[in-house]
Amino acid sequence: MIGTSLVLLGCKDSISKTETTKISIDTVASEDSEAHLEELLTQIDSIENKESTNQQENEDCIFDQSTQTDEFLKDIKELEGYVWHPDTKLAEIILNKQESLIIKRGGCDVFQFYASFMNEKVLDFEKDKKQIFDSIIWITSLLEDFDGEDIKRVIEEGKISITKSDEFNYYANFMDKKLYEQYYFNFNNKDITTFEIGYYYD
């Protein structure tokens, strides 16, 4: 009878925290030990290759992805219960039975920061404009990476240029020099409703 336990230590994406991966085989028959050892070595190679690939991808990026974490969300009570996806730099939040929110902060060659609402109801942009822009004011006031006060002021003053590009799509510009050059707003209500505010740079 053979009992085998291997512990692998690795550093991922230049994070100072050490990760531990355990691979173990308990009560392995002696005649099968060689096959199981080969399987273990294959798993080790796979883990090491994945870590090497992640490190190489980060080194090739303009922006340091190892610093792109969910730290900016952790102290926001209104967004408690979010699910963070470290590979895509996305947070998912269920707001209620009909509405959810996706927040992205990060990127490799292009840094993106946006908040995207999804509503299972089909909202009418003209009729539901207040509800839509109230949601924009709410989320941009919660997240420090947005210019929340300026966005709220421009919306409340009605300094928004709205363009209907087709039956389902609208986009808007904030008529303020700083906001106009930085931010975008999109709305779509084909089958469901999605609307998004954000910015990006490279």
* Spatial distance between the Cα atoms of 37 and 45, rounded to a whole number of angstroms: 12
Q: Is the distance from CB of 81 to CB of 97 less than 8 angstroms?
A: no
The secondary structure of residue 18, as a DSSP letter, is: P
* Spatial distance between the Cα atoms of 139 and 78, rounded to a whole number of angstroms: 10
My answer on whether 147 and 190 are in the same domain is yes
pLDDT over threshold 90, residue 78 = yes
My answer on whether 194 and 104 are in the same domain is yes
- Residue 55: CA atoms inside 13 Å, Cβ hemisphere, count? 11
Looking at the whole model, is its pTM more than 0.75?
no
Q: Which domain holds residue 21?
A: 2-59
* Spatial distance between the Cα atoms of 96 and 192, rounded to a whole number of angstroms: 15
For 23-55, write each residue's pLDDT tens digit.
444 444 455 666 666 666 666 555 545 444 455
Percent of the chain with pLDDT over 90: 65
- The residue-averaged pLDDT of 176-189 equals 94
My answer on whether 118 and 184 are in the same domain is yes
Q: How many domains would you assign to the chain?
A: 2
My answer on whether 97 and 115 are in the same domain is yes
Most distant pair of Cα atoms in the chain: their distance = 79
For 108-137, write each residue's pLDDT tens digit.
999 999 999 999 999 999 999 999 999 999
My answer on whether 43 and 15 are in the same domain is yes
- The residue-averaged pLDDT of 129-157 equals 97
pLDDT over threshold 80, residue 2 = no
* Spatial distance between the Cα atoms of 178 and 175, rounded to a whole number of angstroms: 9
- The residue-averaged pLDDT of 53-80 equals 83
